[in-house]
Homo-oligomer: A and B are copies of this chain.
Amino acid sequence: MNDLHRLPSYTLVISCPDKVGIVAAVAQFVAQRSGSLLESNHHTDVEQGWFYMRNVISAESLAVSLAQFREEFAPLALEFDMQWHVRDNADLQRVVVMASHASHCLADILHRWKSGELPCQIPCVISNHENLRSMVEWHGIPFHYVPVPKEDKSAAFEQVTDIVRRHQADTVVLARYMQIIPPSICDEFAGRLINIHHSFLPSFIGANPYQKAYDRGVKLIGATCHYVTEDLDEGPIIEQDVIRVNHSCDKDDMVRLGRDVEQAVLSRGLRHHLEDRVIVRGNKTVVFSS
């Protein structure tokens, strides 16, 4: 697993049509610059004929600068028709977190961030309620209150978009934000907008999943971390988990038990995303989780 952010390192992520020789070409490219691989994963989707790769390279071992690496890698990438990026892991992503009234997912993210566990910056938190302001500000993070009136939400979402842009967010996290995101935002942040849904998707899509789970009498409840697309709760899944319930659990018990799964699944999914372990293709993800 190796916490990437302990040693100076670059993460190179590649996806391209599958072909003999990709691994050799990339590994040789890195080795010729004396780059030491701290972690390396690849996967071939045989059915789709598609190749996925993630390499973490020790920055100190590499004989060239990151700029040079990029420049010199470009022709190779072209040859194999790669979608690719390489990131200096010292440049922490800027993550804007959006929350509503419930505190658990936000509190969990803030604590992990403060204790240095989540490799990111949090330039601000946006909420449609005021109740979490003090918690956020205690962490030294600006809090933006943007109420979302039922009758017309467009102005509110313009303001949200403006704040997110102004803070130059790399990633936006919906930490139980509980509002449907307009298509314009979904588009602008495609692949960078992460939601936690409080059910094991595709079960119980939409509102009130715990009530639906209670009514159906399921014996496990779950949570799903996924990228947001225009289709509600239909985006690519990053991470899921479940917890056992039984007949003695009413809906409020499920809500309480579910909170733990929600925050665990969101923080794992977000961590995978921040460490460039997730590659989206179509409506599915490759997650190089370890």
Q: Footprint of B on A, CB under 8 Å? A: 1-3, 6, 20-21, 23-25, 27-28, 30-32, 34-47, 52, 61, 103-104, 107, 111, 114-115, 117, 134-135, 138, 200-204, 216-220, 222, 236-242, 246-250, 252-253, 256, 259-260, 264, 283-287, 289-290
Chain A interface SS verdict (over half): mixed
CA distance A39 to B39 in the complex (A): 16
- Which residues of chain B are near A138, meaning CB under 8 Å? 134-135, 138
Q: How far is the CA of A34 from the CA of B22 in the complex (A)?
A: 11
> In the complex, A43 Cα to B283 Cα: how many Å?
29
Shortest 3 CB-CB contacts between residues of A and residues of B? A217-B284, A24-B27, A24-B31
CB neighbours (8 Å) of A31 from chain B are 20-21, 23-25
A285 to B165, CA, bound (A): 48
Given the contacts A20-B34, A36-B20, A219 and B247 also touching, CB distance less than 8 Å: no
**Total copies of this chain within the assembly:** 4
| Chain B residues in 8 Å Cβ range of A2 | 46, 248, 250, 253
Instruction: List the B side residues contacting A204 at CB < 8 Å.
Output: 202
Q: List 19 A-B contacts (CB under 8 A).
A: A2-B46, A23-B27, A23-B31, A24-B30, A27-B28, A43-B248, A52-B247, A103-B114, A103-B115, A104-B115, A117-B256, A134-B138, A138-B138, A200-B200, A216-B237, A216-B284, A247-B284, A247-B286, A249-B290
Asked if B242 contacts A219 (CB within 8 A), the reply is no
Set of chain B residues within 8 Å of A283, measured between Cβ atoms:
216-217
A81 and B108 CA atoms in complex are apart in Å by: 47
Q: CA separation between A259 and B20, bound complex, in Å?
A: 34
Given contacts A31-B21, A40-B42, A138-B138, contact A200 B220 (CB under 8 A): yes
The chain B residue with its CB closest to the CB of A222 is B220
Identify the closest chain B residue to A225 (Cβ). Answer: B219
